[in-house]
Structures are given as C-alpha cells and as structure tokens.
Structure 1
Amino acid sequence: MTTVTGRPDGDSLLPDAERLAADLADLSTFSESGEPGWTRQIFSDPYRASRGWVADRMRAAGLETHVDPAGNVVGRLPGRDRSKPVLMTGSHTDTVHGGGRFDGIVGVLSAIEVARRLRETGATLESDLVVVDFLGEEANTFGISCVGSRAVAGLLTPEHLDRVDDSGRRLGDVMTAFGLDPQGALDQAWAPGSVHGYVELHVEQGPLLERSGHRIGVVTAIAGIERLLVQFTGRADHAGTMPMTGRHDALVAAAQAVLTVEREGCGAPVHGVSTTGRIESSPGALNVVPDKARIWAELRSIDAPWLSGAKRRVVEQIAADAEARGVSTLIEWLNDQDPVACARSMQDRIGAAADSLGYAWEAVPSGAGHDAAHLAHLGPMGMIFLPSVGGRSHVPEELSEPADIAAGAHVLAHTLVRLDRDTA
C-alpha cells in the first residue's frame, strides 16, 4: 500500500467512492428552506451550518483545522518538513441561487478524501497538505466573487469591503455580523512562493468531456470575466398618447443593449461568451413609457485581447444606441478578472497522473471563474475537470456520476503525490 519509507504511492490512494458519495449527500442537506435546488448562498444560516460540518469532516480526516479571518475553512495535514512551501487543494461549498450539489463541493470533499486516504495508508507527504473551503466563490449581491481566495492571495481590497448591496448593507459590516474579521482578511495574505503547487478538482460545468467520452479534463486556462451594470434614463410618458417617434424609452434601449451583449459573445474568434442575467425597469406600469432601466451583464474569455476589445466595443455600442433614442446611460464595471493560464508544469503533471492511472483525458479551457485563478499569485496552479452530465451547471439538475467523481479524486491524489516528490 505504501513504500517502505512511508512516502505515498499515488496508485494506492484510490478514494472510497461510497464514502465520498455519502459526504456529498450529507452536505446537500444544508440548503435554504423554500428556495429552489440546493441553494446555499454566502452569509446564509445554512451556509454557516455547512461550514461547521466541513470543519468537522476535516478534523475527522486528521487535518489541523481553523477558520481564518476571511472565513476560509482551512485544514492542514502535517508533512515531514513543515518549513517547505505547502501543497494546497480545495474549492468552495457555497452555491448560486437555485444551484446544484456538485459545483465546488466536489473539490472540497475530494480533497478531504485524499487526506483521509493518506492517513489510512500510513503515508506521509514531504510538505504539508493544506485543504481549503474558500468563502464565497460565487458572485454575490455585493458584486464580488471569490472573497476568501482573494484574501489568501492578497487581492481583497478596502474598496471591496466598502461595496454595498441593493439594501444598502456594506460587505465589511455583513462579514463582521457573520463572525469574520474584515481587517484581518485584508492583512492575511500568504506570501508569493509559499505554495509549491495548488491543484483544484472541479466539475466541468460544460459538455466537452461528456461529448468526447474522456474522464478527465486538464484545464489550460481560466476565463477572464468582465461584469457590468448599465443604467438607462429616458422619459416617462403616457403609453397611449405619446407617438412612437417621440419616445425616450429606457426599457427599449436596455433591450437593444441585451442584443448588443449577445452579438459580442457570438462573434468571439476563439473562446468567448456573453450573458445578460438581469434586467429591471420602472415605473413598471403597462400604460407608462419606462423612464428607467438597468441591466447586469458579463463577458468571459480566455483570450485577453478579445476580452479587452469586447469591453470597449460593448460600451461604445450601448451608449451610441441609447443616445439615438434620447436615452442617457451610466455604465459601471462591477468586477474584473483577467484570464489566467494554468502553469504548463501543472498541466503536464495532471496529464501524466491521468495517464498512469489509465484515465483518458483532454486539454480543455474553463469558461467559469474559480478560486484557482487567484491562487496562481502564490505558486504554480492547475485544475482537473471531471464530466458534467448534459453539461448542466448552476441549476438543480447539475449532476456528475459517482464513478467520475472518484476518478477525479484519484487523479487529484496522484497529482499531489507527484508534486510532493519534487520537494523531497
């Protein structure tokens, strides 16, 4: 099961698939009553309770466990030489509204399973293994995602903490009420180079692996994301008496902007998508021409030049089209994240690990954002994808098969072992 020196053999670290499936089922019981799917959003009571459950699972796996000032649940499995840069893995356990049971969650629970298997086989890594359930990876009402991983990477700012939601609540104040330490979160950044390698296992959330029949995706890059809020101000008039040629309809201008956003994504030459996820208008009466409207939209791509150009083109076109209708615009960029390439060395190790275990794999981009993008600031970063049934995600129907999850956890374990051998 292990070598004579007690160093782990990746082949021996086959996960307990039934135990991993049971953990996924247990964690799914923490959800917001009356909400669709498995909703467990940041700062909710079920999210608080679920993180206590995760911490207990980490302790049971033999991890030294604590919650840091930013709210990350951190477990550490001691290695032979605790002075070495650490190996890190993990993901997140919050969900979008109406989300599923696998996005992020598979990465956290598989990381805990790897730690359990190391202890059960009597193996010890050279470096400490750090497992993290990062706080609030999903976008929230404050317009910021990856709160916990930003803090670890030193990318959380006072401006982030000063953001307010629609009800006027300040993010820093809500963190304090949740029992966290916002100032400590700003001061807790890990030093660059303190992480020998970060590997995140995640469900693909798209259809590529299922279509190709491959069990494993080796992620090449994580898409950059640009999110914007556009506010349109027109003029309210009687809907029955104001001629069409005399209107300054804010909602029509917003609708035209939605199509502008869509066209930009459709025109991406390599990898690019665009979505308008929310639209509002007022006064909301059938017999009044809308005088105000707002849309929330985003652009994503692993192609940085395209993303930069798309950002400029969308703003210019939306403003020009609205002006032609006599409608003014105010455009605010809510969140930006540059595309991040996975380290070539990490891609090679993940591919080699999959090969050695007999799992077919392919190189794939990630159109979703991940905590891994921020951890790249601390050391080499890589990601492992496993198939999503039907390519569905961020919906209650989100599903990954137990055998695929177990295969992903196996590749994760083998990759971490390969990384650890580099430090010996």
Structure 2
Amino acid sequence: MTAGADFEALRPVGERVEQDLSELAGIRAPESGGWTRTVFSEPYRASRDWVRRRMREAGLDVRLDGAGNVVGVLPGLDPAAPALVTGSHTDTVESGGRFDGVVGVLGALETVRLLRERGIRLRRDLLVVDFLGEESNDFGLSCLGSRALAGELTASDLDRRDAAGMRLGERYAGFGLEPDGVLGSAAAFARHRLAGYVELHVEQGPVLEERGVGLGVVTAIAGIERLLATFRGRADHAGTMPMGDRRDALVAAAEAVLAVRRTACGAPVHGVATTSRLVAEPGSPNVVPAAVRMHAEMRSVDTGWLSSAQLRLAEEIRELAGRSGVDVEIDWSRDNERRPVSADVHEVIAGVAGSLGEPWLPVPSGATHDAVHLARLCPMGMIFVPSRGGRSHCPEEWTDLPDIETGIRVLAGTLLRLDQPRDTL
C-alpha cells in the first residue's frame, strides 16, 4: 500500500506507547531526584542502547552518526526523493521529567510501527532521530547533536570547559565519539536531501491545558540570549565594615536579579527572563562578597523586543552596580536565534488536525528544540500536546496518554501528507 492511504486509520496502540514510556523512564540515575539522564552520563548511554533496540524491533535500519545521534531509517520507494525527518531527544535535565523529548522519539517509533503494520510504504526515506544532548549542559551549549548536523558546532565549541576544567571535546571522546567526526558530521549528513522535519513535543507550558485544547501548532521558536555578569566589589570584614562603606558584589548582583525579572515582565507580547545561578566569592560567612558571577538568560519570539531589552537590561545593571560601588563586566552569548516554522509545514499540520476533527491553537515555543537547527537544513514544523499545569523540567512533568496518542496521529498524518508530491499537498 502506498502513502496515499487514509491517515485517519492510523491509530496508535496506547498500551504499547505506555509500555515504552514506562521502560524508558526506568533508565535514570538512581541517586538523583526525578528522572535524570544527562548527556554523556552512563544512564544516558543505557537509554540510547534501549532506543536503538526499539528502533530495530520497529524495522528501522539503525546507525550512530558522527555527531552521536541515533538514526533509524525506514527506506522509501524512491531512494532519489528527498527524505523526511522526525524525532526529538531522550536526555533530560537534572531531576527532570519523563516526557520532555521522549514523546517525540517514541511518537516517531509508534508512527513507523503503524506504517509497517498497515503495509504503507512511503515514497521518501523516513529518518527517525534521537538527537544527542538537546538539553543545556555544563558547557553552556544545548542541542549538541542537531547543532552539529546543521554545521553550527565549531572547533572553538569543543574547547569549551566545564566547571572541572574538562573540554567538551574530551567529553565526546570519553563517550566514544571522535571530536573530528563530530565536526565532520554536517558534511556527512548533507548527503541526505531533506524534504522536511516534523517534531512532536510536549508544550512545557500551560496554554493548551488552560484553553482546553489538545493540540498546538507551533508558529515560531524563541531566540535565546544568555548573560554572564561578573560583579567585582571589595572583600571586607562582615562584622566591622559599616554598611554605607561597603562595596558588596552580592548586593549589586541581587539588584541585577530583580532587574532581569522586571525586564521580562515588561515584554509586550512574549518574553521571559531567568537568573539561574549566582556564585559568590570568597563565600565565607564573615566576609563581604568581593566577586559574584551571575548567569541569566532572556527568551522571546519577538526579535525586536529581545534586542532592545538586552541593551536596556545591560544599562540598568551597570547603573545599579555603580550605586553600590561595584564594577561589572557583562558578556552575552546567543544560544539560538528566533526561528519561525515553515508556513507550508504549519499549514499541513493544521490541515491534518482539522481532518481528524481535532481543535488546535497556534502557539509560540519559549523552549528551544532540535527543530531550531534542523530548520537550517529543510522546512520545519512542530506539534505540541498539553502539559499538565504547564510543568516541565521537573519530576511533576506529565502529559496524559490520550493527548500523546492524538499527537502521534497528527504526526503520522503530517508525514504522510508531506510524503506526497508537492503539487498534491
């Protein structure tokens, strides 16, 4: 049977998806709370072995590419036709949840099973990918696997060091990946001509649940600007130096934390900002802090606001620090630019949802995804399913199985539609 078959008949087997979710959730660091499979860890290695076995059982040709991505290929009828890509990631943040990224990988696997069980052959190859290390890490760089495939991972990135002084290139090597192979993976992947990328993901926010809608069709993925502010004051005896004579770096940093929050609260459309860490020195209870490193980030799908807010925030932090007699150095780094989805792919996803009778909302994504980097290679779109209470990156993260099943149905239908010649879409 060809891919022109009726996608409305492709119904996920809920018990099978639930079993996959349960088994993968069982692979985690036992000493950590929640679900922890951070990149380069042993639990992460074990989970990727599990994914490869599941891919083979689903009938995919499985390989590990030079960037460390697990890639399963479902061959199509026309090897010359540009391929379709779907997937997500299975690494987690520390003490994270069971659904972030995982739903996209397992949803893609279930789609392959449904196609094979119904004897449906796609015209194009279908690539199912579990991308390496999507979550942010100790090297300050997210989406390692997809970033490498897009040619956005550089030799200087491999020289980034974590808090223990280890280079990123060394971590790759310790995980069995050659750094030169990681950098060369973009050229190898470029041999695939790509027709489109579709990612199923949990929303990680409250909008869908609050609106009582089971599907989100993503409009754009937020740009992310990361801030490192280094405050330099003066160490003094905490018991003898009068309050008015102090140059307290931590007081200046605390005011900067509030400035970060104020800036995001003033966003006209979509903007968020978070201070995630303060590191004070010397850290003694009887010494006025002499230096503080503050890590923060800003996100928005509104590039104009994000750019101007950066400038305003930097000026305010400098002014506040000056009032405390503290010097400050401000460094910005871009994790990713705002990325709109493909209008064509968005239209196909919405059309499939409509054909299935599923209400949907257009929603922006405040979280980054591997889709950001795949968009450099082909048209990209994303499907969201609700997150209970909008909770994510925590043990309470939850998405109901019926919502996951709906997302898989829309994913499968979208891939079938995208498999058709363009003039028939």
- Normalising by structure 2, report the TM-score: 0.97
In the alignment, what sits opposite 2:416? 417
The C-alpha deviation readout for 1:270-326, integer Å capped at 9, x for no partner, is 100000011121222232111111111000000011111112222222122212222
> Which of residues 10, 13, 33 in structure 2 aligns to 1:13?
10
Residue 403 of structure 2: SS of its match in structure 1? helix
Quote the Cα distance in structure 1 between the aligned partners of 2:173 and 2:40: 10
Over the matched positions of the two proteins, sequence identity in percent amounts to: 57
Q: Letter of the 2:146 partner, please give it.
A: S
Residue 58 of structure 1: SS of its match in structure 2? helix
Q: Is the 8 A contact 2:3 2:123 kept in 1?
A: no
Moved over 6 A (4+): none
- Pairing of 1:252-263 with structure 2 (within 5 A): 252-263=251-262
Q: Is the 8 A contact 1:192 1:379 kept in 2?
A: no
Q: Is the 8 A contact 1:143 1:334 kept in 2?
A: no
- Pairing of 1:185-264 with structure 2 (within 5 A): 185-189=182-186, 190-191=189-190, 194-264=193-263
User: Does 1:289 find its partner at 2:288?
Assistant: yes
In the alignment, what sits opposite 2:169? 172
Residue 188 of structure 1: SS of its match in structure 2? helix
Q: Is the 8 A contact 1:98 1:396 kept in 2?
A: yes
The C-alpha deviation readout for 1:322-348, integer Å capped at 9, x for no partner, is 122221222232443110001111111
In the alignment, what sits opposite 1:322? 321
The C-alpha deviation readout for 1:147-175, integer Å capped at 9, x for no partner, is 00001111111111110001000001110
The gaps in structure 1 that reach 5 residues or longer are none
Q: Is the 8 A contact 2:387 2:399 kept in 1?
A: yes
The C-alpha deviation readout for 1:116-169, integer Å capped at 9, x for no partner, is 111111110000000000000000000000000001111111111110001000
> Which of residues 98, 101, 105 in structure 2 aligns to 1:104?
101
Q: What is the CA-CA distance between 1:194 and the residue it aligns to?
A: 2.1
Quote the Cα distance in structure 1 between the aligned partners of 2:158 and 2:47: 24
After alignment, is 334-343 or 70-79 more displaced?
A: 334-343
Q: Is the 8 A contact 2:34 2:395 kept in 1?
A: yes
In the alignment, what sits opposite 1:75? 72
Quote the Cα distance in structure 2 between the aligned partners of 1:178 and 1:332: 31
In the alignment, what sits opposite 2:145? 148
Q: Is the 8 A contact 2:3 2:419 kept in 1?
A: no
Q: Is the 8 A contact 1:6 1:122 kept in 2?
A: no
Q: What is the CA-CA distance between 1:9 and the residue it aligns to?
A: 2.7
Q: What is the CA-CA distance between 1:193 and the residue it aligns to?
A: 8.4
In the alignment, what sits opposite 1:181? 178
The C-alpha deviation readout for 1:204-259, integer Å capped at 9, x for no partner, is 00011001111110000000001111111110111122111211101001101101
User: Does 1:113 find its partner at 2:110?
Assistant: yes
In the alignment, what sits opposite 1:301? 300
Give the alignment's Cα RMSD to 1 decimal. Answer: 1.4
Residue 279 of structure 2: SS of its match in structure 1? strand
Quote the Cα distance in structure 2 between the aligned partners of 1:130 and 1:393: 27
In the alignment, what sits opposite 1:365? 364
Q: Letter of the 2:308 partner, please give it.
A: G
In the alignment, what sits opposite 1:157? 154
User: Does 1:354 find its partner at 2:350?
Assistant: no
Q: Is the 8 A contact 2:250 2:292 kept in 1?
A: yes
Relative distance call for 1:86 and 1:421 in structure 2 (3 A) is same
